[in-house]
Amino acid sequence: MNPVHGPAAQSESSRPGPPGRKPPMKVLVVDDSALVREVMKTVLSREGGMDVVVAPDGLIAEQEIQARRPDVIVLDLEMPRMDGLTLLRRIMETDPIPVVICSGLGTKGSRAALEALAEGAVEVVAKPRVGVREFLQESATMLIDSVRAAAIARVRTKPRAVGGAPVPAPPRAGDHGPAPRRAATRLVAIAASTGGPQALETILTALPAGAPGIVIVQHMPAGFTAAFAERLNAACRLEVKEAASGDLVMDGRVLLAPGGRHLSLRRTPAGCEVLVEDGPLVSRHRPSANLLFHSVARSMGANALGIILSGIGDDGVDGLLEMRIAGAVTLAQSQASCAVFGMPGEAIARGAAEQTVELADIPAALLRWSAGAEQGGSRAA
Protein backbone atom coordinates (compact mmCIF):
# COMPACT_ATOMS: atom_id res chain seq x y z
CA MET A 1 0.00 0.00 0.00
CA ASN A 2 1.64 3.23 -1.13
CA PRO A 3 0.17 6.46 0.28
CA VAL A 4 -0.21 9.22 -2.24
CA HIS A 5 -1.25 12.06 0.06
CA GLY A 6 -0.63 12.91 3.70
CA PRO A 7 -3.46 11.90 6.05
CA ALA A 8 -3.66 15.35 7.58
CA ALA A 9 -4.19 16.96 4.20
CA GLN A 10 -7.04 14.72 3.06
CA SER A 11 -8.96 13.75 6.21
CA GLU A 12 -10.88 15.37 9.03
CA SER A 13 -10.87 14.01 12.58
CA SER A 14 -13.24 14.70 15.45
CA ARG A 15 -11.64 15.71 18.73
CA PRO A 16 -10.96 12.76 21.08
CA GLY A 17 -12.70 12.69 24.45
CA PRO A 18 -11.11 14.08 27.62
CA PRO A 19 -8.19 12.19 29.19
CA GLY A 20 -8.89 9.68 31.94
CA ARG A 21 -11.99 8.23 30.30
CA LYS A 22 -12.36 5.03 28.31
CA PRO A 23 -10.61 5.53 24.95
CA PRO A 24 -13.14 6.48 22.28
CA MET A 25 -14.06 4.03 19.56
CA LYS A 26 -12.06 4.88 16.42
CA VAL A 27 -14.36 5.02 13.38
CA LEU A 28 -13.23 5.57 9.80
CA VAL A 29 -15.92 6.78 7.36
CA VAL A 30 -14.95 6.24 3.70
CA ASP A 31 -17.18 7.94 1.13
CA ASP A 32 -16.54 10.06 -1.95
CA SER A 33 -19.41 12.44 -1.09
CA ALA A 34 -18.31 15.32 1.13
CA LEU A 35 -21.92 15.80 2.26
CA VAL A 36 -22.32 12.16 3.31
CA ARG A 37 -19.00 12.31 5.16
CA GLU A 38 -20.14 15.43 6.97
CA VAL A 39 -23.53 13.97 7.91
CA MET A 40 -22.12 10.68 9.18
CA LYS A 41 -19.31 12.33 11.08
CA THR A 42 -21.77 14.69 12.77
CA VAL A 43 -24.20 11.91 13.70
CA LEU A 44 -21.52 9.58 15.09
CA SER A 45 -19.52 12.28 16.90
CA ARG A 46 -22.66 13.66 18.53
CA GLU A 47 -23.34 10.22 20.03
CA GLY A 48 -20.21 10.50 22.17
CA GLY A 49 -17.49 7.95 22.72
CA MET A 50 -16.50 7.92 19.05
CA ASP A 51 -13.45 9.46 17.41
CA VAL A 52 -14.43 9.83 13.76
CA VAL A 53 -12.02 10.20 10.85
CA VAL A 54 -13.16 10.49 7.23
CA ALA A 55 -11.55 9.64 3.90
CA PRO A 56 -12.76 10.37 0.35
CA ASP A 57 -11.67 7.13 -1.33
CA GLY A 58 -10.10 3.72 -0.83
CA LEU A 59 -6.52 4.84 -1.36
CA ILE A 60 -6.72 7.52 1.33
CA ALA A 61 -8.57 5.05 3.55
CA GLU A 62 -5.68 2.57 3.31
CA GLN A 63 -3.36 5.34 4.40
CA GLU A 64 -5.59 6.15 7.38
CA ILE A 65 -5.76 2.49 8.38
CA GLN A 66 -1.94 2.33 8.41
CA ALA A 67 -1.67 5.55 10.42
CA ARG A 68 -4.27 4.74 13.10
CA ARG A 69 -6.01 1.38 12.85
CA PRO A 70 -9.76 1.99 13.33
CA ASP A 71 -12.09 -0.16 15.41
CA VAL A 72 -14.84 0.09 12.76
CA ILE A 73 -14.94 1.20 9.13
CA VAL A 74 -18.09 2.62 7.51
CA LEU A 75 -17.51 2.00 3.82
CA ASP A 76 -19.13 3.29 0.64
CA LEU A 77 -19.05 0.88 -2.30
CA GLU A 78 -19.01 3.19 -5.33
CA MET A 79 -15.92 5.41 -5.25
CA PRO A 80 -13.27 6.58 -7.72
CA ARG A 81 -9.71 5.21 -7.79
CA MET A 82 -10.53 2.24 -5.54
CA ASP A 83 -14.08 0.96 -5.05
CA GLY A 84 -15.38 -0.29 -1.70
CA LEU A 85 -15.42 -4.00 -2.55
CA THR A 86 -11.76 -3.89 -3.56
CA LEU A 87 -10.83 -2.14 -0.33
CA LEU A 88 -12.95 -4.55 1.72
CA ARG A 89 -11.22 -7.58 0.20
CA ARG A 90 -7.80 -6.09 0.87
CA ILE A 91 -8.74 -5.37 4.48
CA MET A 92 -10.04 -8.89 5.03
CA GLU A 93 -6.94 -10.46 3.48
CA THR A 94 -4.38 -8.40 5.42
CA ASP A 95 -5.87 -7.24 8.74
CA PRO A 96 -9.62 -7.97 9.23
CA ILE A 97 -11.49 -5.02 10.74
CA PRO A 98 -15.28 -4.85 11.28
CA VAL A 99 -16.82 -3.10 8.27
CA VAL A 100 -20.29 -1.53 7.98
CA ILE A 101 -21.31 -1.10 4.35
CA CYS A 102 -23.05 2.17 3.49
CA SER A 103 -24.83 1.49 0.21
CA GLY A 104 -27.16 3.34 -2.08
CA LEU A 105 -30.60 1.92 -2.78
CA GLY A 106 -31.61 0.20 -6.00
CA THR A 107 -30.84 -3.17 -7.50
CA LYS A 108 -27.14 -2.48 -8.16
CA GLY A 109 -26.47 -1.09 -4.70
CA SER A 110 -28.34 -3.81 -2.81
CA ARG A 111 -26.66 -6.64 -4.71
CA ALA A 112 -23.23 -5.10 -4.18
CA ALA A 113 -24.00 -4.75 -0.46
CA LEU A 114 -24.92 -8.44 -0.23
CA GLU A 115 -21.69 -9.35 -2.01
CA ALA A 116 -19.84 -7.26 0.58
CA LEU A 117 -21.55 -9.18 3.41
CA ALA A 118 -20.42 -12.42 1.77
CA GLU A 119 -16.85 -11.03 1.64
CA GLY A 120 -16.80 -10.36 5.40
CA ALA A 121 -18.63 -7.09 6.11
CA VAL A 122 -20.74 -7.37 9.26
CA GLU A 123 -23.56 -4.86 8.64
CA VAL A 124 -25.22 -2.78 5.93
CA VAL A 125 -26.90 0.61 6.27
CA ALA A 126 -28.62 2.77 3.67
CA LYS A 127 -26.74 5.83 2.50
CA PRO A 128 -28.41 9.12 3.51
CA ARG A 129 -29.84 10.91 0.51
CA VAL A 130 -27.50 13.55 -0.87
CA GLY A 131 -29.00 17.02 -0.44
CA VAL A 132 -30.64 16.24 2.91
CA ARG A 133 -28.57 17.68 5.73
CA GLU A 134 -31.11 16.68 8.38
CA PHE A 135 -30.38 12.98 8.80
CA LEU A 136 -33.67 11.44 9.96
CA GLN A 137 -33.59 10.34 13.60
CA GLU A 138 -34.50 6.74 12.72
CA SER A 139 -31.66 6.55 10.21
CA ALA A 140 -29.24 8.04 12.74
CA THR A 141 -30.31 5.45 15.32
CA MET A 142 -29.73 2.62 12.85
CA LEU A 143 -26.30 3.96 11.87
CA ILE A 144 -25.20 4.32 15.49
CA ASP A 145 -26.51 0.87 16.44
CA SER A 146 -24.79 -0.70 13.40
CA VAL A 147 -21.43 0.86 14.26
CA ARG A 148 -21.68 -0.21 17.90
CA ALA A 149 -22.66 -3.74 16.86
CA ALA A 150 -19.76 -3.92 14.41
CA ALA A 151 -17.30 -2.86 17.11
CA ILE A 152 -18.00 -6.02 19.12
CA ALA A 153 -18.62 -8.37 16.20
CA ARG A 154 -16.44 -11.38 15.48
CA VAL A 155 -15.21 -10.83 11.93
CA ARG A 156 -15.58 -13.97 9.83
CA THR A 157 -13.52 -13.82 6.66
CA LYS A 158 -14.45 -15.67 3.51
CA PRO A 159 -12.53 -18.96 3.13
CA ARG A 160 -9.92 -18.79 0.38
CA ALA A 161 -8.05 -21.48 -1.48
CA VAL A 162 -4.34 -21.56 -2.21
CA GLY A 163 -3.44 -18.45 -4.20
CA GLY A 164 -6.12 -16.29 -2.55
CA ALA A 165 -9.10 -17.27 -4.70
CA PRO A 166 -12.43 -17.56 -2.84
CA VAL A 167 -13.49 -21.12 -2.05
CA PRO A 168 -16.62 -21.76 -4.15
CA ALA A 169 -19.82 -22.63 -2.29
CA PRO A 170 -20.74 -26.31 -2.53
CA PRO A 171 -23.52 -27.03 -5.04
CA ARG A 172 -27.02 -27.63 -3.71
CA ALA A 173 -27.76 -31.31 -3.18
CA GLY A 174 -30.93 -33.22 -3.87
CA ASP A 175 -34.02 -32.40 -5.91
CA HIS A 176 -34.21 -28.72 -6.87
CA GLY A 177 -37.75 -29.06 -8.22
CA PRO A 178 -40.76 -27.44 -6.56
CA ALA A 179 -42.07 -29.14 -3.41
CA PRO A 180 -45.78 -29.77 -2.86
CA ARG A 181 -47.29 -26.69 -1.19
CA ARG A 182 -49.73 -26.81 1.70
CA ALA A 183 -50.75 -24.26 4.30
CA ALA A 184 -48.46 -24.62 7.30
CA THR A 185 -49.96 -26.19 10.41
CA ARG A 186 -46.72 -25.45 12.26
CA LEU A 187 -44.03 -22.91 11.52
CA VAL A 188 -40.57 -21.65 12.38
CA ALA A 189 -40.00 -18.00 13.34
CA ILE A 190 -36.43 -16.65 13.20
CA ALA A 191 -34.90 -13.36 14.38
CA ALA A 192 -31.45 -12.15 13.31
CA SER A 193 -29.39 -8.98 13.24
CA THR A 194 -25.62 -8.42 12.95
CA GLY A 195 -24.13 -11.63 11.55
CA GLY A 196 -27.60 -12.84 10.62
CA PRO A 197 -27.34 -12.94 6.82
CA GLN A 198 -24.49 -15.44 6.94
CA ALA A 199 -26.23 -17.48 9.66
CA LEU A 200 -29.50 -17.55 7.72
CA GLU A 201 -27.73 -18.73 4.57
CA THR A 202 -26.08 -21.53 6.54
CA ILE A 203 -29.44 -22.70 7.92
CA LEU A 204 -31.67 -22.31 4.88
CA THR A 205 -29.32 -23.87 2.34
CA ALA A 206 -29.18 -27.02 4.50
CA LEU A 207 -32.96 -27.55 4.59
CA PRO A 208 -34.97 -29.77 2.22
CA ALA A 209 -37.71 -28.49 -0.07
CA GLY A 210 -40.43 -29.84 2.21
CA ALA A 211 -39.28 -28.10 5.41
CA PRO A 212 -41.98 -26.38 7.49
CA GLY A 213 -42.96 -22.80 6.70
CA ILE A 214 -40.51 -20.19 7.96
CA VAL A 215 -40.96 -16.48 8.75
CA ILE A 216 -37.91 -14.28 9.34
CA VAL A 217 -37.08 -10.85 10.68
CA GLN A 218 -33.55 -9.85 9.68
CA HIS A 219 -32.61 -6.32 10.68
CA MET A 220 -31.82 -4.79 7.30
CA PRO A 221 -32.66 -1.42 5.71
CA ALA A 222 -35.50 -0.92 3.26
CA GLY A 223 -34.42 -1.68 -0.28
CA PHE A 224 -32.03 -4.53 0.55
CA THR A 225 -34.28 -7.40 1.63
CA ALA A 226 -35.71 -8.06 -1.84
CA ALA A 227 -32.20 -8.72 -3.19
CA PHE A 228 -31.37 -10.79 -0.10
CA ALA A 229 -34.47 -12.94 -0.65
CA GLU A 230 -33.52 -13.42 -4.30
CA ARG A 231 -30.01 -14.46 -3.31
CA LEU A 232 -31.33 -17.01 -0.81
CA ASN A 233 -33.96 -18.29 -3.24
CA ALA A 234 -31.23 -19.02 -5.80
CA ALA A 235 -29.16 -20.91 -3.21
CA CYS A 236 -31.92 -22.89 -1.45
CA ARG A 237 -34.23 -25.77 -2.22
CA LEU A 238 -36.92 -23.82 -0.37
CA GLU A 239 -38.84 -20.97 -1.99
CA VAL A 240 -37.61 -17.71 -0.42
CA LYS A 241 -39.44 -14.43 -1.01
CA GLU A 242 -39.80 -10.99 0.49
CA ALA A 243 -43.10 -11.08 2.36
CA ALA A 244 -46.19 -9.18 1.22
CA SER A 245 -49.44 -8.75 3.12
CA GLY A 246 -51.74 -11.70 2.48
CA ASP A 247 -48.95 -14.23 1.78
CA LEU A 248 -49.80 -17.59 3.35
CA VAL A 249 -47.21 -19.37 5.44
CA MET A 250 -46.72 -22.65 3.58
CA ASP A 251 -44.49 -25.67 3.97
CA GLY A 252 -41.47 -25.26 1.72
CA ARG A 253 -41.71 -21.44 1.76
CA VAL A 254 -39.64 -18.81 3.57
CA LEU A 255 -41.10 -15.31 4.06
CA LEU A 256 -38.61 -12.54 4.83
CA ALA A 257 -39.79 -9.29 6.43
CA PRO A 258 -39.24 -6.32 4.08
CA GLY A 259 -36.62 -3.88 5.36
CA GLY A 260 -38.22 -0.87 7.03
CA ARG A 261 -41.62 -2.58 7.57
CA HIS A 262 -43.03 -4.73 10.36
CA LEU A 263 -44.08 -8.36 9.85
CA SER A 264 -46.75 -10.14 11.91
CA LEU A 265 -49.05 -13.18 11.59
CA ARG A 266 -52.80 -13.67 11.80
CA ARG A 267 -55.05 -16.72 11.53
CA THR A 268 -57.53 -16.92 8.65
CA PRO A 269 -59.82 -19.70 7.36
CA ALA A 270 -57.22 -20.40 4.66
CA GLY A 271 -54.37 -20.69 7.14
CA CYS A 272 -51.80 -18.40 8.74
CA GLU A 273 -51.08 -15.29 6.68
CA VAL A 274 -48.66 -12.44 7.14
CA LEU A 275 -49.37 -8.77 7.59
CA VAL A 276 -46.76 -6.25 6.42
CA GLU A 277 -47.25 -2.71 7.69
CA ASP A 278 -45.58 0.55 8.62
CA GLY A 279 -45.34 1.86 12.15
CA PRO A 280 -42.91 3.28 14.69
CA LEU A 281 -39.72 1.51 15.68
CA VAL A 282 -40.28 -1.34 18.14
CA SER A 283 -37.29 -2.27 20.30
CA ARG A 284 -35.34 0.27 18.17
CA HIS A 285 -36.10 -1.68 14.99
CA ARG A 286 -38.47 -1.91 12.04
CA PRO A 287 -38.98 -4.76 11.28
CA SER A 288 -39.02 -5.87 14.90
CA ALA A 289 -38.54 -9.48 15.97
CA ASN A 290 -40.50 -8.82 19.14
CA LEU A 291 -43.57 -7.83 17.13
CA LEU A 292 -43.28 -10.97 14.97
CA PHE A 293 -42.70 -13.34 17.89
CA HIS A 294 -45.63 -11.91 19.89
CA SER A 295 -47.92 -12.52 16.93
CA VAL A 296 -46.58 -16.08 16.50
CA ALA A 297 -47.27 -16.83 20.17
CA ARG A 298 -50.87 -15.63 19.79
CA SER A 299 -51.58 -17.28 16.44
CA MET A 300 -49.64 -20.56 16.63
CA GLY A 301 -49.05 -21.30 20.30
CA ALA A 302 -47.30 -24.66 20.75
CA ASN A 303 -47.23 -25.27 16.98
CA ALA A 304 -44.18 -23.06 16.51
CA LEU A 305 -40.42 -23.12 16.85
CA GLY A 306 -38.69 -19.84 17.71
CA ILE A 307 -35.01 -19.26 16.93
CA ILE A 308 -32.95 -16.21 17.83
CA LEU A 309 -29.67 -15.74 15.98
CA SER A 310 -26.64 -13.46 16.12
CA GLY A 311 -27.24 -9.77 16.82
CA ILE A 312 -26.71 -6.89 19.23
CA GLY A 313 -29.35 -5.75 21.72
CA ASP A 314 -32.44 -7.63 22.85
CA ASP A 315 -35.00 -7.37 20.06
CA GLY A 316 -37.02 -10.57 19.98
CA VAL A 317 -36.31 -11.65 23.55
CA ASP A 318 -39.66 -10.60 25.06
CA GLY A 319 -41.54 -12.14 22.14
CA LEU A 320 -39.52 -15.36 22.32
CA LEU A 321 -40.37 -15.64 26.02
CA GLU A 322 -44.06 -15.25 25.19
CA MET A 323 -43.67 -18.00 22.58
CA ARG A 324 -42.12 -20.30 25.18
CA ILE A 325 -44.92 -19.57 27.67
CA ALA A 326 -47.42 -20.37 24.90
CA GLY A 327 -45.83 -23.82 24.49
CA ALA A 328 -43.45 -23.25 21.58
CA VAL A 329 -39.94 -24.69 21.47
CA THR A 330 -37.37 -21.89 21.62
CA LEU A 331 -33.69 -21.97 20.61
CA ALA A 332 -30.75 -19.56 20.74
CA GLN A 333 -27.61 -19.68 18.63
CA SER A 334 -24.51 -20.59 20.65
CA GLN A 335 -22.01 -17.94 21.65
CA ALA A 336 -19.15 -19.70 19.88
CA SER A 337 -20.94 -19.56 16.53
CA CYS A 338 -22.31 -15.98 16.83
CA ALA A 339 -20.80 -12.88 15.28
CA VAL A 340 -22.48 -10.95 18.15
CA PHE A 341 -23.93 -12.79 21.15
CA GLY A 342 -26.21 -9.95 22.30
CA MET A 343 -29.69 -11.16 21.31
CA PRO A 344 -29.06 -14.89 21.97
CA GLY A 345 -27.29 -14.07 25.25
CA GLU A 346 -30.23 -12.00 26.47
CA ALA A 347 -32.67 -14.73 25.42
CA ILE A 348 -30.74 -17.28 27.49
CA ALA A 349 -30.34 -14.97 30.48
CA ARG A 350 -34.07 -14.17 30.63
CA GLY A 351 -35.20 -17.75 30.17
CA ALA A 352 -36.73 -17.09 26.74
CA ALA A 353 -34.56 -19.71 25.02
CA GLU A 354 -34.80 -23.21 26.47
CA GLN A 355 -31.93 -24.63 24.39
CA THR A 356 -28.63 -23.33 22.99
CA VAL A 357 -27.56 -24.78 19.64
CA GLU A 358 -24.46 -24.45 17.47
CA LEU A 359 -25.23 -22.75 14.17
CA ALA A 360 -24.25 -25.82 12.15
CA ASP A 361 -26.65 -27.96 14.20
CA ILE A 362 -29.72 -25.72 13.85
CA PRO A 363 -31.00 -27.27 10.57
CA ALA A 364 -31.00 -30.76 12.10
CA ALA A 365 -32.66 -29.47 15.28
CA LEU A 366 -35.35 -27.78 13.19
CA LEU A 367 -36.05 -30.97 11.24
CA ARG A 368 -36.19 -33.08 14.43
CA TRP A 369 -38.74 -30.66 15.87
CA SER A 370 -40.75 -30.76 12.65
CA ALA A 371 -40.77 -34.57 12.58
CA GLY A 372 -41.85 -34.68 16.21
CA ALA A 373 -44.65 -32.20 15.56
CA GLU A 374 -45.88 -34.34 12.65
CA GLN A 375 -45.92 -37.41 14.90
CA GLY A 376 -47.93 -35.87 17.69
CA GLY A 377 -46.30 -32.88 19.28
CA SER A 378 -42.87 -34.01 20.49
CA ARG A 379 -40.91 -31.06 21.91
CA ALA A 380 -37.60 -32.49 20.78
CA ALA A 381 -35.32 -30.08 18.96
Active site residues: 193, 219, 315
Separation CA 349–CA 342 (nearest Å): 10
Residue 368: phi and psi, rounded to 5, are -65, -40
Beta strand segments in the chain, E? 25-30, 50-55, 72-76, 99-103, 123-126, 187-192, 213-218, 239-242, 253-256, 262-268, 271-277, 304-308, 329-333, 355-357
Separation CA 294–CA 352 (nearest Å): 12
Do the beta carbons of residue 223 and residue 264 sit within 8 Å?
no
Separation CA 40–CA 54 (nearest Å): 9
For residue 381, with 0-12 CB atoms within 10 Å meaning exposed, 13-18 middle and 19 or more buried, which class applies?
buried
The 3-state DSSP class for residue 54 equals strand
Do the beta carbons of residue 127 and residue 102 sit within 8 Å?
yes
Q: Considering only CA atoms, which of 190, 192, 245, 196 is closest in space to residue 213?
A: 190
Do the beta carbons of residue 72 and residue 25 sit within 8 Å?
yes
Residue 128: phi and psi, rounded to 5, are -65, 145
Kindly give, in sequence order, each residue whose CB lies less than 8 Å from that of residue 58, ignoring residues fewer than 6 positions away.
Answer: 30, 79, 81, 82, 83, 84, 86, 87
Kindly give, in sequence order, each residue whose CB lies less than 8 Å from that of residue 173, ignoring residues fewer than 6 positions away.
Answer: none
Do the beta carbons of residue 296 and residue 215 sit within 8 Å?
yes
Instruction: Estimate to the nearest angstrom the gap between the alpha carbon of 7 and the chain centroid.
Output: 33
Do the beta carbons of residue 309 and residue 286 sit within 8 Å?
no
